[in-house]
Amino acid sequence: MSASDENIFTEHVKTLDRQTTDMPHDVRTKLASRLKKQLRSRGLLKCSAEVFGLSGQYVGEDEAFNELLFESYLHLFYGVGKQAGKQLNFLKMQVNAGNSIDALIQRNLSNFVHDRHQKAFPKNAGIHKNVKAAAQQVVNDQENDVRFVGSSGPNGESKAILGTASSGDNPVEIVSIVRAIRELFVWQATLKIVQRFSDTAVAGTAAGILALFSEGYHPFRLSSLESAIAELAYEPIENARMSSEVKFPDDNGEKPEFVRTILDEDSYLTRQAKVDEFVHEGQLAIFGMSFDEITTDRLLEILACYAEKCRHCDPEKNISQTQVAADVGLPKQTMNDYMKKLRAALETIRS
């Protein structure tokens, strides 16, 4: 099959049928590259394969990765469960109409990795309780022009969507809610505690909901708010917090404090939580610098690479900037330039 790199999946669908689920080499290579990038950006390549229900030791090793690659292929091109067969029909219809489906495949791949991540590390139970209680609290306060709208609940009340009398008909999309929560300062403290149900978390979520309404982000589905919060929430580990003194090392330098506290931790789950916080704080710092899209993506990739090495690195081994540069495919001088930008971003963080 001959196809341009940009339309490789579109060309694949043109010849795809239900008689075989074998992946052509070029499709496999492209999908594997994109899947690995998605996993790397979330720091999942060195996670236990067992946690994801895969064979082998780590997700990024050949045995586990190939299983996940095939699973993603079935999900993206054929559909699984209730969607079995429907996905291929939909893709065929789009391609026959002259549309490219490569961007759609990329978006669905991102959703697939997100869902597998959430399934492996569930954290939505407490979020659901906090959002439900906070929404009820906001609605019960008569000073707020906020109400439940949409389909009726079991007792006649409408609880699917939260809005006002003047809200439009179309609920705000999850991606917009995620962007708003990132930008609204009132959410930052709540994101650290929202995974566990508590009065403080409910109060913080209620304040965050009112902030969303104040900024015009309504109406929205409570399920969308839960998903947005789950995307951003993380468990705080006090001694892994980064500060303005944190520095990445060069090849001859000492380990920075956040790396030291991560590598000194023997517990697998606690180390993962520390890395998750490192990634979360770093991502917020990078987004807050308003770099151009290319620079932002590269810095996120470098951040994820450091995080991945922290997950399973030998405590006595230094994390070399040269090795990180090689892993992300950057020459030394270009890596130095990006590291200056990354340090500038991290210096905006305060413990």
| Total domain count, the chain | 3
From 47, 29, 118, select the one nearest 304 (Cα to Cα): 47
DSSP three-state, residue 121: coil
The answer on 271 and 226 residing in a single domain is: no
Residue 109 lies in a domain: yes
Residue 27 lies in a domain: yes
**In the listed set 62, 90, 120, which residue is the last one of a domain according to the structure?**
120
Residue 129 lies in a domain: yes
Residue indicated by tokens 């236990």: 48
The answer on 94 and 42 residing in a single domain is: yes
DSSP three-state, residue 152: strand
Residue 48 lies in a domain: yes
Residue 351 lies in a domain: no
Note the pLDDT of residue 304. 79
From 217, 225, 210, select the one nearest 129 (Cα to Cα): 225
Note the pLDDT of residue 134. 94
Cβ-proximal residues to 16 (8 Å cutoff; 6+ apart), any chain: 77, 88, 91, 92
The answer on 342 and 269 residing in a single domain is: yes
Note the pLDDT of residue 269. 52
**In the listed set 192, 216, 232, which residue is the last one of a domain according to the structure?**
232
The residue range of the domain holding 76 is 5-120
The answer on 280 and 203 residing in a single domain is: no
Residue indicated by tokens 């900024």: 215
**In the listed set 120, 151, 180, which residue is the last one of a domain according to the structure?**
120
Give yes or no for a contact between 102 and 8, defined as CB atoms under 8 angstroms apart. yes
The answer on 267 and 217 residing in a single domain is: no
HSE (side-chain half, CA atoms, 13 Å) at 231? 22
The answer on 110 and 128 residing in a single domain is: no
The answer on 129 and 108 residing in a single domain is: no
Residue 157 lies in a domain: yes
Note the pLDDT of residue 158. 38
For the full predicted model, state whether its pTM sits above 0.75: no
Query: Distance of alpha carbon 207 from its chain centroid, rounded?
Result: 24
Return the sign of the alpha-carbon dihedral for residues 50, 53, 54, 59.
negative
Note the pLDDT of residue 73. 93
Percent of the chain residues topping a pLDDT of 70:
76
Residue 58 lies in a domain: yes
Note the pLDDT of residue 140. 92
Q: State how far the Cα of 188 lies from the Cα of 226, in Å rounded to an integer.
A: 15
The answer on 113 and 14 residing in a single domain is: yes
Note the pLDDT of residue 248. 46
Residues of the chain with confidence (pLDDT) below 50: 1-3, 152-158, 235-258, 260-261, 265-266, 350-351
Q: State how far the Cα of 282 lies from the Cα of 306, in Å rounded to an integer.
A: 11
